[in-house]
Amino acid sequence: MLAKVYVTPKKAILDPQGKAIAHSLHALDYPEVSEVRMGKYLEVRLAGLSKQHAEQRVEEMCRRLLANLIIEDFRFEIVEE
C-alpha cells in the first residue's frame, strides 16, 4: 500500500519559492500563470494495515512530523500497489 502525501504552504504564508518560479514562468512567456505554490510530495510505503487503519496512521504521521500545521496544509491518498 502506498500513501501519497502532499504538503503545501498555507495560503496565509508567504511562499517566496513559488513566487520566484512564477516569475520564471512569466519570463518563459507563460503569462497565463497567475500563481505558483511550492510544496512537497512524499511517498510513504506501508505494510500490514487495512486501508482504514492506514488512513488513520498516515493522518497521525502528517500531524506529528510530515507537516507543520502552523505553516503547512496536507492531504493524502492511499492506493493499493
Residues engaged in binding another protein (CB under 8 A): 9, 12-14, 16-17, 20, 65-66, 68, 70-71
| CB distance 4 to 77 below 8 Å | yes
Q: How far is the CB of 15 from another protein (least distance, A)?
A: 8
Cβ proximity to another protein: between 11 and 34 the closer is 11
Q: How far is the CB of 17 from another protein (least distance, A)?
A: 6
The cell for 23 is 516569475
Q: How far is the CB of 56 from another protein (least distance, A)?
A: 20
**Three-class secondary structure of residue 81 per DSSP:** coil
Cβ proximity to another protein: between 33 and 71 the closer is 71
Planar angle of CA 46, 50, 55, nearest 5 degrees: 70
Cβ proximity to another protein: between 27 and 65 the closer is 65
Upper half-sphere CA count for residue 34 (Cβ side, 13 Å): 0
